């Protein structure tokens, strides 16, 4: 049993290395359907193609980073510096990306570290970060209305969301898979026709379940942790979302396994308000620096190292 | 009245056996004529008088029995069932609300669950389950209250299973434990607490109805009217006898009249006493108990909202709104005369600490906000409020029990002695009139 799960995890990691997808939030905001990136090499997602934009292309990074603690006056970074902390919108139940450590009570993970690195660049210390847990269906609106400075929450950059928020350059590549119980005969989500498949409400994963041809029944829960509870209570037959989130769940439940290959691609970006593009440029500069100096790889190893050696960081694309 | 009962002409052909063993239809007209013809002779008039007195006496006795039984059953139902159900419903609510708050605080504390919180959670659950089984005995089968009790006992089993899973996950360091805890909390707040509240409302209606049925106004009123009619009939009979015979007093009838007066005084004394004690039980017991119970429910809601706001870590705006709502309601509730200034000050002290927690959280010092919220001094500040309400509640419960006990006094006696006195009145009336009747033989 253990070895099989180990294999599943290794399999997951292998696919992760290949190139990955995401769980985005598909808040009910007006806009067109999710689109695959024209430049992407992986198989086209199930979503109707929307080629109105390249979701991976973000704003050009700032030419140089100001020294920490000395943000240029009049910029949004100066405002953050004045408020004394960076407010990061994320979740607290996505193991490995942003989840609450039961031992310490702190929210931590890959996404949280992304936020900490931005805080480091602004303040010179990563601890000046306030975590604000937001619902999956509030990710776009929280970034838009300024209730958080930045959202890093396994959020897929897509054209629909680009209409409302700015995304940073891609910091992680994920793709949607499905988690079933260890005795299930299903090989992929196509074998789950008529079965209940859970995803967080407001996530692109939830929408994607509805697009599968075999017609599984999508079940929405407030968060992915609630999906795992429902799965363990036999309320749903499977959970479908980004491979990374599923890997975190499988690690918590020896009777669960992740099956099939990625049927969508979900490039993760950090979302910010469109009203201050200089902040997006600043964040892109921080990401570019961290890709170059090995910080990204170290962060990957810290949280996702169990799935295999760190891949090369996603290549940044700019408009 | 006696003629009406003994010889009522039948409107139809089909006749059931009447109260006084009425003859079948064909002979009824004859009987009616025979009874009617009695008034033409002196002995006939005496017989009619006797019939009237005996009928009134029997009816008064019957009603005294019914009134005694109804008021005493109503009073003891109020004291032994309706009011205790209200108390149990409040216990269920406060125990479950406290369990939810305790679980959320243990979650906030992080790491190994503090032993004191585990103990407190276990105690809460024990109180809730004990109160649920007590409430099950106090609700009638198939009633709305029984449905709530059933939902509660099923729900509590599921609730404790979810919390147990959350603890097991927490011990293994699995983050899914927090999702189990939030599922448990949702079950508690969205299903269990509304059911407990529903039971509380049902019990409140039961207490209200209990006061009505304890007073049994209709029976008591009829009894008083009949006793007055009996006294009047006795006086008229004596006036008639002293005019038609040469005796001023008919001793047995005077005795019957005296007994009727005693019965009237006794009945009024018992019923007025009961009604004033019921009034006291309501004013000093039931009403304040309901108000205090509601206040405690609101206070617990505040504390629970505080913990859940922090546990939601920024996504708990609905809890913040609920806190504001509960706190506004509680401040209004605390304004009435059942609460002391001391209690109002204690609540203000807690609100001050809560404001500090909120402002720390709003300013980004989440860890400090959590530390302050679950600290022992904060816990003590809050518990001073609930403990204050609790001891006031105990006093009011005692006052209610005392008054309801006093209200029940004498009602049983009315049910027993009333019919006996009525019987004695009938016998005396019979003796008095038979003595005159024999003079015609």
- Closest-CA residue to B212 (of B157, B286, B147, B301): B286
Predicted pLDDT of residue B105: 87
- Kindly state the average pLDDT of the residues B343-360: 94
Residues of A within 8 A of B169 (CB-CB) are 102, 252
- Pick the residue with more confidence: B313 or B293? B293
Return the ∠ at Cα A170 (arms to A168 and A175), rounded to 5°. 135
How much is the pLDDT for A35?
Answer: 37
Q: What is the pLDDT along chain A (319 residues), one digit of tens a residue?
A: 344 444 444 433 333 333 333 444 444 343 333 333 333 333 334 445 566 789 999 999 988 899 999 999 999 999 999 999 999 999 888 888 998 888 888 899 999 999 999 999 999 999 999 998 888 888 999 999 988 999 999 999 999 999 999 999 999 999 999 999 999 999 988 999 899 999 988 888 999 999 888 999 999 998 888 999 999 999 999 999 998 889 889 988 999 999 988 889 899 999 999 999 999 999 999 999 999 999 999 999 999 888 788 889 999 999 8
Least confident segment among A187-191, B11-15, B77-81, B387-391: B11-15
- Nearest Cα residue in chain A from B174: A252
Please state the rounded mean pLDDT for residues B21-47: 71
B313 interaction partners in chain A (CB closer than 8 Å): 92, 100, 107, 131-133
HSE-CB at A259 with a 13 A cutoff on CA atoms is 19
Pick from B109-113, B171-175, B191-195: least confident: B109-113
pLDDT in tens, B137-157: 999 888 899 999 999 999 999
Contacts of B108 in chain A (CB under 8 A): 105
Residues of A in contact with B178 (CB under 8 A): 92-93, 100, 102, 225
Q: Cα(B241)–Cα(A50) distance, rounded to whole angstroms?
A: 113
Q: What is the predicted pLDDT for the residue at B25?
A: 52
**What token pair was written down for B370?**
């959590």
Quote the pLDDT of residue A95.
Answer: 84
Asked if B110 lies within 8 A of A253 by C-beta distance, the reply is: no
Whether residues B111 and A84 touch (CB distance < 8 A) is answered with: no
Query: Rounded to 5 degrees, what are φ and ψ at A272?
Result: -140, 165
Q: Are A26 and A203 in contact (CB under 8 A)?
A: yes
Asked whether the beta carbons of B266 and B417 are under 8 A apart, the reply is yes
What digits encode the pLDDT tens for the residues B367-381? 899 999 989 899 999
Of the two residues B317 and A68, the one the predictor is more confident about is: A68
Report whether pLDDT(B386) > 50: yes
* ipTM entry: 0.73
Record the tokens describing residue B36, joined without a space. Answer: 């009617």
Chosen from B168, B314, B361 to mutate, greatest number of chain A CBs within 10 A = B314
- Looking at residue A39, its pLDDT comes to 36
Question: Which chain B residues touch A99 with a CB distance below 8 Å?
Answer: 175
Q: Under 8 Å CB-to-CB from B412, ≥6 apart: which residues?
A: B68, B72
Residue A319 is predicted with a pLDDT of 85
- Min Cα distance A41 → chain B (Å) is 35
Rounded to a whole number of angstroms, the distance from the CA of A86 to the nearest CA of chain B is 9
Cβ-nearest to A130 among B179, B183, B366: B366
The widest CA-to-CA distance across chain B, in whole angstroms, is 110
Statement: the pTM of the whole predicted model exceeds 0.90:
no
Q: What is the mean pLDDT of residues B191-206?
A: 92
Predicted pLDDT at A9: 41
Written as one string, the DSSP assignment of B33-75 is HHHHHGGGSHHHHHHHHHHHHHHHHHHHHHHHHHHHHHHHHHH
How far is B390 from chain A, CA to nearest CA, in Å? 33
Alpha carbon separation from A41 to A19, A161, A175 (Å, rounded): 9, 22, 13
Calpha distance A104→B259 (Å, rounded): 84
Q: For residue B224, give every residue at least 6 positions away whose Cβ sits within 8 Å of its Cβ, in sequence order, or none.
A: B264, B267, B268, B271
At A257, which helix (H) or strand (E)? strand A256-259
pLDDT digits (tens, 9 = 90+) for B398-433: 999 999 999 988 888 898 999 999 999 999 999 988
Least confident stretch, A35-44, B9-18, B25-34? A35-44
For residue A117, give how far its alpha carbon lies from the nearest alpha carbon of chain B (Å): 18
């Amino acid at each position: 049993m253990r070895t099989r799960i180990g294999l599943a995890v290794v399999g997951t990691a292998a696919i992760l290395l290949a190139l990955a997808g995401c769980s985005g939030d598909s808040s009910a905001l007006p806009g067109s359907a999710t689109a695959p990136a024209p430049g992407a090499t992986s198989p086209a997602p199930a979503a109707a193609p929307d080629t109105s934009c390249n979701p991976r292309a973000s704003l050009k990074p700032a030419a140089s980073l100001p020294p920490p603690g000395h943000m240029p006056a009049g910029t949004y970074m100066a405002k953050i510096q004045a408020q004394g902390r960076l407010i990061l919108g994320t979740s607290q139940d996505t193991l490995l990306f942003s989840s609450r450590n039961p031992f310490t009570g702190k929210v931590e993970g890959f996404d949280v570290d992304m936020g900490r690195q931005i805080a480091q660049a602004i303040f010179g210390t990563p601890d000046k970060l306030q975590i604000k847990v937001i619902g999956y269906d509030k990710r776009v609106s929280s970034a838009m209305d300024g209730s958080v400075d930045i959202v890093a929450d396994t959020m897929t950059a897509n054209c629909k969301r680009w209409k409302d928020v700015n995304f940073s350059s891609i910091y992680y590549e994920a793709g949607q898979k499905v988690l079933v119980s260890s005795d299930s005969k299903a090989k992929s989500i196509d074998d789950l026709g008529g079965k209940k498949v859970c995803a967080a409400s407001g996530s692109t994963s939830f929408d994607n379940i509805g697009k599968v041809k075999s017609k599984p029944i999508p079940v929405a829960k407030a968060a992915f942790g609630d999906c795992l509870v429902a799965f363990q209570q036999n309320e749903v037959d499977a959970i479908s979302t980004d491979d990374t989130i599923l890997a975190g769940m499988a690690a918590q439940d020896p009777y669960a396994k992740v099956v099939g290959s990625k049927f969508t691609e979900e490039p993760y970006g950090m979302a910010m308000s469109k009203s201050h593009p200089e902040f997006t440029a600043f964040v892109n500069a921080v990401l570019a620096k961290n890709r170059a100096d090995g910080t990204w790889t170290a962060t990957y190893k810290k949280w996702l190292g169990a799935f295999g050696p760190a891949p090369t960081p996603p290549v940044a694309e700019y408009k | 009245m006696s003629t009406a009962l003994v010889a009522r002409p039948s409107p139809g052909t089909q006749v059931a056996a009447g109260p006084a063993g009425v003859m079948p239809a064909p002979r009824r007209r004859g009987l009616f004529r025979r009874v009617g013809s009695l008034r033409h002779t002196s002995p006939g008039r005496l017989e009619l008088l006797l019939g009237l007195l005996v009928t009134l006496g029997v009816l008064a006795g019957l009603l005294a029995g019914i009134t005694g039984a109804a008021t005493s059953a109503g009073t003891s139902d109020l004291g032994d069932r309706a009011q205790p159900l209200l108390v149990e419903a409040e216990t269920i609510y406060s125990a479950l609300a406290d369990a939810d708050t305790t679980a959320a605080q243990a979650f906030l504390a992080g790491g190994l669950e503090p032993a004191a919180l585990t103990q407190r959670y276990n105690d809460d659950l024990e109180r809730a389950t004990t109160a649920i089984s007590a409430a099950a005995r106090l609700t009638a089968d198939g009633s709305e209250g029984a449905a709530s009790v059933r939902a509660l006992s099923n729900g509590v089993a599921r609730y404790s299973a979810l919390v147990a899973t959350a603890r097991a996950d927490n011990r293994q360091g699995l983050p899914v434990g927090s999702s189990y805890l939030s599922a448990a909390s949702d079950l508690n707040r969205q299903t269990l607490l509304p059911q407990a509240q529903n039971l509380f409302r049902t019990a409140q209606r039961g207490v209200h109805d209990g006061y009505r049925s304890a007073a049994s106004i209709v029976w008591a009123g009829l009894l008083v009217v009949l006793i007055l009619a009996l006294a009047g009939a006795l006086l008229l009979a004596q006036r008639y006898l002293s005019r038609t015979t040469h005796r001023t007093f008919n001793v047995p009838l005077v005795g019957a009249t005296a007994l009727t007066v005693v019965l009237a005084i006794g009945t009024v004394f018992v019923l007025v006493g009961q009604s004033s004690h019921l009034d006291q039980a309501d004013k000093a017991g039931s009403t304040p108990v309901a108000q205090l119970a509601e206040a405690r429910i609101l206070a617990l809601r505040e504390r629970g909202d505080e913990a859940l706001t922090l546990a939601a870590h920024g996504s708990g705006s609905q809890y913040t709104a609920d806190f504001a709502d509960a706190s506004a309601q509680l401040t209004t509730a605390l304004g009435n005369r059942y609460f002391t200034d001391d209690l109002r000050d204690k609540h203000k002290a807690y609100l001050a600490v809560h404001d500090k927690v909120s402002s720390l959280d709003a300013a980004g010092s989440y860890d400090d906000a959590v530390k302050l919220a679950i600290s022992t001094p904060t816990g003590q500040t809050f518990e001073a409020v609930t403990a204050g309400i609790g001891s006031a509640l105990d006093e009011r419960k005692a006052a209610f029990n005392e008054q309801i006990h006093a209200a029940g006094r004498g009602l049983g006696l009315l049910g027993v002695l009333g019919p006996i006195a009525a019987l004695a009145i009938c016998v005396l009336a019979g003796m008095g009139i038979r003595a005159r009747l024999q003079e015609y033989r």
